[in-house]
Structure 1
Amino acid sequence: MWISPYKYILSLGHLCSDINQSILSAVLPFLIATYHYDYTTAAMLVTVSNVFGAFVQPFIGMLSDKKNKLLYMTLGVLLASGGMAVTGFISNFFGLWIVVIMSGIGVAMFHPQAAKLFNSVPSKNAKGKGMSIFSFGGKVGFTLGPVYTAFLMNLFGMKGTILFLIPGIVFGIVCSFFDKDFENLDVLEVEKKEEVKSEQNDDWSGFIKLCCVVFSRSILSNGISTFLAFYFIQQFSKSNSFASMLLSVFYGIGSITFLGGGIADCFGHRKMVRLSFCIFLPAIFIFTNTSHFVIALIMLIFMICGESLSYSPMVVLEQKYIPNHTGFASGITLGLVVSIGAALCPVLGYVSDAYGLNYAFIIMTIVCAIALACSMLLPNVEEK
């Protein structure tokens, strides 16, 4: 199955964008240690970053449905990196709000346009595999973020955050060489849109049901990425640096999302989504109820597999349910719905402060069961 080289460039952009999201989660323990924030306050930084970005993505998606603009992506990645780069120079909490909001908006500007371009680039009979390449870039970014953060914090202290600018600069330079190539994809998109309109109508009911699954998965992904480090620090007496490195393991193993799309191409994207939550649910249940470090690590691996394998198939399904509005679909599912899920992080933070981190993971276990139930309601869609 042939995959266009432009998809690898977009995957690089996904890396440079999403590394900032994992950097935010990884830097929280250092912010807590430096400024003595509680869990709820720290979680609020994740929330404001995602919520403000959420309301940008659908509008960017609608704009990208009209015309592809590489500027949305490059400026977005630069904003995302720039926001995180100044976090180490601001001690005022509301100042931190502003810069993480700027970073979140930057991430939001990247995703709808990138997903739209991915749908425009030809990849016959390899939709899932192509989207897996895109998601793999994001997973690599998430993986490198905590490692990069721990390295800079240990070497330079909080002032080392200025080097978070590097990924944004790298992607900006790469994109400068391919601006005209990506603009030419407008022609392919127009031709593809006319073809799809004549073959398939939008299934908004199926899309809404998929949004429910994405919403539940978002709560799980954001909850785990935000509180996983704290959980191992509190439950198993691990150091801040170890817990930060564990986040990299979490995101690194999550790179098996590269396999999810290819498998889904063979057996069906809807089946892959269901299977992923069938793996996720028992794993997070055991993880939450064990006091053994090794068992927790093993279950964490299964949790990562369940969380990661669902990503690419869900992105493909969203574009199949409403094929005439792929940019808007990406803005909603990759942006608004995901960010609404992230908005519940302070609730989990409040529960953690009041009752302990274990209760936050109990809530996430219930959410995982809801995600599995919702995935069973997804309607079938013809695989093309």
Structure 2
Amino acid sequence: MWISPYKYVLSLGHLCSDINQSILSAVLPFLIATYHYDYTTAAMLVTVSNVFGAFVQPFIGMLSDKKNRLLYMTLSVSLASGGMAVTGFISNSFGLCIVVIISGIGVAMFHPQAAKLFNSVSSKNAKGKGISIFSFGGKVGFTLGPVYTAFLMNLFGMKGTILFLIPGIVFGIVCSFFNKDFENLDVLEVEKKEEVKSEQKDDWSGFIKLCGVVFSRSILSNGISTFLAFYFIQQFSKSNSFASMLLSVFYGIGSIAILLGGGIADCFGHRKMVRLSFCIFLPAIFIFTNTSHFVIALIMLIFMTCGESLSYSPMVVLG
């Protein structure tokens, strides 16, 4: 079997996992309109989803280091989709917290095992390009989430969230054909580790600096994705559906930037790409939050998503 199909399966899994994160952001305006929640509750739902997922992720990573288990990925996507699927059937904030935590844990569980496998099948001299392909799947998921949400909400109302199960079902079916193939990649990983073992040296100082950059970027990115739809609804009097579509545009441009960023970083340097992306990202945020003109806000939105996404693959490679 050729190696390339693995990349497509893992990228598909990334799509089916991360679509649930953007679904959460996109469904919030509909939850607020239906159940009259405030913005604090909306922020709390996103926060608990991310925090609990962050705690689980290292433990899944340790288990994945011991042996490849496709079960981790299929279970994670099922949890991510299942949690979001019941949000339309729960009207109290505590119940919503529980189901978005389950979904957040599912999303977090997917990444360690999937990233490890993708690294195993990626070329040593094109790590940035390889990571960008994997990340592209996730960004496409982010892009489709708001469109999918708006479509279901307009067609079925809040009960339409049950169809958020579809990505999990699709990935489960696809994975059923690749179970043994992924587990056999352990042999390939051992060979690669032996080749590079003598070349590796931990740079803790650089790692701590990188963690600070990643942490700062994550705060900004999560804040933008959570409140972007609300911002256009309140600031420019746009509808919930329009705001969801705009969120998809934001993620869609980001997916293209991620795909390009990895390859460019391989050619010109990963550190240079990270610096360039932040030089675009931060000024764009400042102008975006201080303008009252819709067109200028849209232009800055493009710069924001490009700046935010170009740094993703290089930072993963540097880590």
TM over 0.5: yes
RMSD (Å), alpha carbons: 1.6
**Equivalent pair of 1:17/1:110 in contact (CA under 8 Å):** yes
* Structure 1 residue runs without a partner (length 5+): 315-384
* CA deviation map 1:16-67 (0-9, x unaligned): 0000000000000000001111101111000111111110001111111111
The answer as to whether partners of 1:57 and 1:112 remain within 8 angstroms in 2 is yes
Following TM superposition, by how much is the alpha carbon of 1:271 offset from its aligned partner in structure 2, in angstroms? 1.0
Residue 124 of structure 1, CA deviation: 4.1
Residues 230-267 of structure 1 deviation map (CA, whole Å, 9 limit, x = unaligned):
11111111111111111001101111230010001101
Kindly state the Cα deviation for residue 165 of structure 1 after the two structures are TM-superposed. Answer: 0.2
**1:172 aligns to what SS in structure 2?**
helix
Aligned-partner SS, 1:177: coil
Which digits, 9 at most, give the CA deviation of each residue in 1:181-202, with x for residues without a partner?
A: 1111101111222222211112
Report if the CA contact (8 A) 1:16-1:168 is conserved: yes
How far the C-alpha of 1:222 sits from its partner, in A, is 0.5
- Cα contact 2:261–2:311 (8 A) shared by 1: yes
1:117 and 1:91 map into 2 onto residues whose CA distance is 39
Q: CA deviation at 1:3?
A: 7.3
The TM-score with structure 2 as length reference comes to 0.96
Answer whether contact 1:26 1:247 (CA < 8 A) is retained.
yes
For 2:32, the equivalent position in structure 1 comes to 32
Q: Per-residue deviation at 1:2?
A: 11
How far apart, in 2, do the equivalents of 1:3 and 1:289 lie? 48
SS in 2 for 1:40: helix
Indicate if the aligned counterparts of 2:122 and 2:130 stay in contact, CA closer than 8 A.
no
> Take 1:150 and 1:76, find their aligned partners in 2: how far apart are those partners?
24
1:190-236: CA deviation from partner (whole Å, max 9, x where unpaired):
12222222111122221121111110110111000011111111111
- Contact kept in structure 2, 1:3 and 1:126, CA below 8 Å: no
Tell me if structure 1 keeps the 8 A contact 2:20–2:103.
Answer: yes
Separation of aligned partners in 1, 2:122 and 2:311:
23
C-alpha distance in 1 between matches for 2:243 and 2:128:
33
The residue aligned with 2:159 is: 159
Q: Conserved in 2, the CA contact under 8 Å of 1:272 and 1:309? A: yes
Query: Could you give the per-residue CA deviations for residues 292-328 of structure 1, whole angstroms, max 9, x where no partner exists?
Result: 10011001100000001111111xxxxxxxxxxxxxx
2:143 counterpart residue number: 143
Q: Deviations over 1:262-303 (max 9, x none)?
A: 001101111111110011122111111111100110011000
1:79-136 CA-to-partner distances (Å, cap 9, x unmatched) read 0000000000111211111111110110111001111111111424221111111000
| Paired position in structure 2 for 1:45 | 45
| In 2: Cα distance, 1:122 partner to 1:283 partner | 33
Number of residue equivalences: 314
Given that residues 85 and 165 in structure 1 are in contact (C-alpha distance below 8 angstroms), is that contact kept between their aligned partners in structure 2?
A: yes
| Contact 1:26 1:244 (C-alpha < 8 Å) held by counterparts | yes
- Verify the 8 A CA contact 1:81 1:164 in the aligned structure 2: yes
Task: Report the 3-state secondary structure (helix = DSSP H, G, I; strand = E; otherwise coil) of the residue aligned with 1:91.
Answer: coil
Q: Say whether the 8 Å CA contact 1:4–1:123 is kept in structure 2.
A: no
Query: For residues 211 and 2 of structure 1, what CA distance do their matches in structure 2 show?
Result: 35
The answer (yes or no) to whether the contact 1:2–1:124 under 8 Å persists in 2 is no
Cα separation, 1, equivalents of 2:278 and 2:76:
31
Separation (CA, whole Å) in 2 of partners of 1:68 and 1:190: 12
What's the TM-score once normalised by structure 1's chain length?
0.80
1:15 matched residue in structure 2: 15
8 Å Cα contact 1:2-1:123 kept in structure 2:
no
Task: Report the Cα distance in structure 1 between the residues aligned to 2:49 and 2:186, rounded to whole angstroms.
Answer: 31
Contact in 2 for aligned 1:3/1:123 (Cα 8 Å): no
Bigger CA drift: 16-25 or 117-126? 117-126
- Please tell me whether the aligned partners of residues 279 and 306 of structure 1 are also in contact (alpha carbons under 8 angstroms): yes
CA distance in 2, matches of 1:246, 1:201: 44
Structure-2 separation of matches of 1:219 and 1:130: 25
Correspondences of 1:114-263 after superposition (within 5 Å): 114-257=114-257, 258-263=259-264
Distance 1:3 1:269 in 2: 25
Q: Residue by residue, what CA displacement relative to the aligned partner does 1:157-190 show, whole Å, maximum 9, x if unpaired?
A: 0000000000000001101100111111101111
Q: Does 1:278 align with 2:279?
A: yes
Distance 1:122 1:236 in 2: 44
Cα distance between partner residues in 1 of 2:66 and 2:49 = 27
Question: Partners in 1 of 2:61 and 2:203 — Cα distance?
Answer: 18
Q: Which moved more, 1:154-163 or 1:66-75?
A: 66-75
**In structure 1, distance between residues paired with 2:122 and 2:245:** 37
Segment drifting more, 289-298 vs 122-131: 122-131
- Tell me, yes or no, if the aligned pair for 2:41 and 2:93 is still in contact at 8 Å: no
CA contact (8 A) 2:76 2:107 kept: yes
Shift of residue 13 of structure 1? 0.3
